[in-house]
Amino acid sequence: QVQLKETGPGLVQPTQTLSITCTVSGFSLTSYYMQWVRQTPGKGLEWMGFIRSGGSTEYNSEFKSRLSISRDTSKNQVFLKMNSLKTEDTGVYYCARGVQDFDYWGQGVMVTVSS
Amino acid sequence: DVVLTQTPPTLSATIGQSVSISCRSSQSLLHSNGNTYLHWLLQRPGQSPQLLIYSVSRLESGVPNRFSGSGSGTDFTLKISGVEAEDLGVYYCVQGTHAPYTFGAGTKLELK
């Protein structure tokens, strides 16, 4: 069955870089888009960006040049990297499958940005 | 960016009651390909969101048929015909027509 699981650090210091891995099973990354969505106390659910089945990416301009999404299809993994973290980046980060919908979600990983 | 306005923010219901949630968009969600990418999600307490309805009115596999969606253009509605205890949580509309994709602020369904 389809499964998605995010792993990452629970605590990151301000100005540092966040790295999260989404490991999937039950489908191929070369057949589906993979989205990143976060949920913060200040802004609720926010779409961050996606990586297409072909490997190209699109980002929410809200995150400007801070965000990078990549993947390793041989390991069934998708990666999120975001630099210059601020306290307001504290929240739960989700990967989700889908092109323009979000049919499967991971459990999410809580990230706290604090010194 | 497209703004999705959900009403009401909170909904109190008894078991068996039928309820509706509205989602209004700041611009039409009709895509140039003829599809309308307006979806409904439910986030139960302590869980990640799950897809209930996609493309306005299509029921996701495994979702009970007491859930239904309707609407077009800028006005959309989610209806629950006979609330059950497992339906409690926060409902979100989300649009995938215009990038950046955006979410409504949510409607919390609680027991009266």
Q: What is the pLDDT of residues A22-64, one digit of tens each?
A: 999 999 999 999 999 999 999 999 999 999 999 999 999 999 7
Q: Dump pLDDT digits (tens) for B26-77.
A: 999 999 999 999 999 999 999 999 999 999 999 999 999 999 999 999 999 9
Could you say which residues from 1 to 40 on chain A have a Cβ atom under 8 Å away from some Cβ of chain B?
A: 35
What is the pLDDT confidence band of residue A65, given thresholds at 50, 70 and 90? confident
Chain B positions touching A36 (Cβ under 8 A) are none
The tokens describing A82, both together, are 């975001």
CA proximity to B91, closest of B35, B45, B58, B30: B45
User: Does A91 reach chain B within 8 Å, measured CB to CB?
Assistant: no
Residue B79 has what pLDDT? 98
pLDDT score, position A34:
97
A45 vs B37, B54, B103: nearest CB: B103
CA proximity to B103, closest of A70, A105, A39: A39
Interface probe for B, chosen from A101, A105, A109 (most Cβ of B below 10 Å), is A101
Selected for mutation to probe chain A from B2, B37, B48 (highest A CB count within 10 Å) is B48
Q: What tokens does B96 get? A: 């995938």
Q: Beta partners for B96?
A: none
As a whole number, mean pLDDT of residues A96-106 equals: 91
